[in-house]
Amino acid sequence: MQHSNAPDPAPDSLAIVSFDTDRETYVQHYFDSRGVVRVYAMTFSDGVWTLLRESPDFSPLDFSQRFTGTFSDDGDSIIGRWEISRDGSPWERDFDLSYFRVR
């Protein structure tokens, strides 16, 4: 489970990660304070975390979304960015998002 509190204008959110045994992949179920509910395919490979949404789920699909985050060598940070693709257009940067371990 991942819980985020963010300063305005970003929404607070809750994400629950599960494993889809039929597809043998991870799935992230996302909920936020705006009432947005989405489902992302999630992978981890070679130190890269990817979330991808390319089909409608609980919300209409006005654009595709992709997050790509790279783990630091010490595992204490993930440096990433969200991208969007509208109507099959090339991916474009939406915003950067980084995570840092708090000890």
pLDDT category of residue 47 using cuts at 50, 70 and 90? very high
Section 18-37 average pLDDT = 92
Q: Which value, to the nearest 10 degrees, does the dihedral of the CA atoms of residues 84, 8, 12, 100 take? A: 80
pLDDT of residue 72: 97
CA distance 68 to 79: 8
Section 12-28 average pLDDT = 92
- Is residue 15's pLDDT more than 90? yes
What residues have CB less than 8 Å from 27, skipping those under 6 apart? 17, 18, 19, 20, 39, 40, 41, 42
Extended strands (E) in 54-103: 64-71, 77-85, 92-100
pLDDT of residue 90: 94
Section 79-93 average pLDDT = 93
Q: How many domains does the chain have?
A: 1
Supply the range of the domain harboring residue 54: 2-100
CA distance 15 to 32: 8
- Is residue 65's pLDDT more than 90? yes
Tokens encoding 17: 């990660």
Tokens encoding 89: 């257009």
pLDDT of residue 52: 96
CA distance 44 to 30: 18
pLDDT category of residue 103 using cuts at 50, 70 and 90? confident
Residue 39's domain is classified under what CATH number?
2.40.128
